[in-house]
Amino acid sequence: EVQLVESGGGLVQPGRSLRLSCTASGFTFGDCPMSWFRQAPGKGLEWVAFIRSKGFGGTTEYAASVKGRFTISRDDSKSIAYLQMNSLKTDDTGVYHCSRNYGFDYWGQGTLVTVSS
């Protein structure tokens, strides 16, 4: 059974950093491109970042709103995708979800990030 479990969220002050993890199971993680999404409170869905599998270079794509501040990475030995978030802003507050990039067929339950002083 495919499972994605996000962790690492919490309350953080503006300007600080946080690293989210997406732990995967039930499929061959190393072959799978992954994405992060977010949803601000009461708002719609927003795609945040994407990473290809190592077989396709492990290259990345970012939304303009996070480019230069967020970094997506992966550890295939642990089946984890990470989202390193630096220079956090209040607008980054929301629930962060990871998803398989096989058409975004499976999503995790999300982890809440609150950026506030």
Partner 1 sequence: DVVMTQSPLSLPVTLGQPASISCRSSQSLVYSDGNTYLIWFQQRPGQSPRRLIYKVSNRDSGVPDRFSGSGSGTDFTLKISRVEAEDVGVYYCMQGTHWPRTFGQGTKVEIK
**List of residues contacting partner 1 (CB under 8 A):** 35, 37, 44-47, 50, 61-64, 97, 103-105, 107-110
Closest CB to partner 1 among residues 61, 76: 61
Looking at the DSSP assignment, which residues form a beta bridge with residue 19?
84
**Burial of 35 from C-beta contacts in 10 A (0-12 / 13-18 / 19+):** buried
Nearer to partner 1, 44 or 57 (CB): 44
Minimal distance, residue 50 CB to partner 1, in Å: 8
Q: Are 93 and 114 in contact (CB under 8 A)?
A: yes
The distance of closest approach from Cβ of residue 44 to partner 1 in the complex, given in angstroms and rounded to an integer, is 5
Q: What is the DSSP string of 28-39?
A: -GGG--EEEEEE
Identify which of residues 57 and 64 has a Cβ nearer to partner 1 in the complex. Answer: 64
Least distance CB 89 / partner 1 (angstroms) = 18
- Which lies closer to partner 1 via its Cβ, residue 58 or residue 63? 63
Q: What are phi and psi of 31, to 5 degrees?
A: -90, -5
Output phi, psi for 29, to 5 deg: -60, -40
